[in-house]
Amino acid sequence: MDDERALEGGNATDAVVRIGTTVRKPWTASTAAVNDYVRLLRARGVDAPAPLGRDEQGRRIIEFIDGRPAMETMPLAVTDFARIGGMIRRIHDASEGIEIRTDAAWDTLIPVADADLLCHNDLAPWNLIMGPRWVFIDWDGAGPSTRLWDLAYAAQAFTLNDVSEPPPAAGDRLAALVDGYGADAEMRIALPAAMAQRAQAMHDLLRASDASGREPWGSMYRSGHGEHWRTAAAYVAQHARVWATALA
């Protein structure tokens, strides 16, 4: 059997290892429902890591995806952002009609009101592997959400996460991703405010976790993630008109 090799880069998942062409992760209360969701997406044409059952230690077995995280290949080309937008749209479209199981223990980090669609909930540069295949990984936090909330987080994380970037240039990348998604006029109007709210919600989650001792989020708040999300939320809110113009 191949040796275990620890995988680095994740902030919120301990004990993640690679064995050969598979990844092993802890089995949690939400795993069965997440695996069912991912299998349905794959059956509908979405390229996601295949759930491969459970090993003798009780861990999840997942297909290993070869490549590098998008966050390690920045800056991306405008055409890359359009491709990413299209990937997100395919996930959302394929999720339509999949039952949101009320008996499932979804591990949704930041719930949203009126959730009507199963979503990944962490479509970000640290979860997109770019290689022979472009694949979103780490579906652990999948659960009920909305197209707008899921896209708002992805759009902000991919295109507006660097607060040193001149807003017009960031707006061009944002427009490319949203164009690739094929967002309608209503969603384009709603996105600037939703992106600011989602970034602020991430900061608030980390701050509350620090106060309550909830891990790993509390440690992330203290290690710099809290300050990052505070400044990111302010940046997104401050330049809302730039984003609105870019998306018009």
Give CA torsion, residues 82, 87, 89, 91, to 10 deg.
Answer: -170
Looking at every residue in the chain, the average pLDDT score rounds to 93
Do both 49 and 86 map to the same domain? Answer: no
Q: Tell whether omega for the bond before 69 is within 30 degrees of 0, i.e. cis.
A: no
The pLDDT assigned to 11 comes to 54
Among 63, 85, 113, the domain boundary falls at: 63
Do both 54 and 177 map to the same domain? Answer: no
Do both 34 and 55 map to the same domain? Answer: yes
Do both 41 and 92 map to the same domain? Answer: no
The pLDDT assigned to 204 comes to 86
What percent of the chain stands above pLDDT 70? Answer: 96
Neighbours of 241 (CB within 10 A): 11
Among 63, 78, 111, the domain boundary falls at: 63
What CATH number corresponds to the domain at position 189? 3.90.1200.10
Averaged pLDDT, 236-243: 98
Element (H, E) at 28: none
Which residues pair with residue 61 across a beta bridge? 24
Do both 112 and 167 map to the same domain? Answer: yes
Do both 181 and 196 map to the same domain? Answer: yes
Q: Please indicate whether residue 20 or residue 8 has the higher confidence score (pLDDT).
A: 20
Do both 58 and 74 map to the same domain? Answer: no
Question: What is the pTM (predicted TM-score) of this model?
Answer: 0.94
What pLDDT, in 10s, does the model give residues 155-212? Answer: 999 999 999 999 999 999 999 999 999 999 999 999 999 999 999 999 988 888 888 8
Do both 133 and 189 map to the same domain? Answer: yes
Choose among 126, 145, 123: nearest CA to 46.
123
Do both 83 and 140 map to the same domain? Answer: yes
219, two tokens: 């440690």
What pLDDT, in 10s, does the model give residues 36-82? Answer: 999 999 999 999 999 999 999 999 999 999 999 999 998 899 999 99
Do both 53 and 141 map to the same domain? Answer: no
The pLDDT assigned to 138 comes to 96
Among 63, 78, 110, the domain boundary falls at: 63
Averaged pLDDT, 6-34: 85
Do both 43 and 133 map to the same domain? Answer: no
Do both 164 and 238 map to the same domain? Answer: yes
Q: Which domain holds residue 17?
A: 5-63
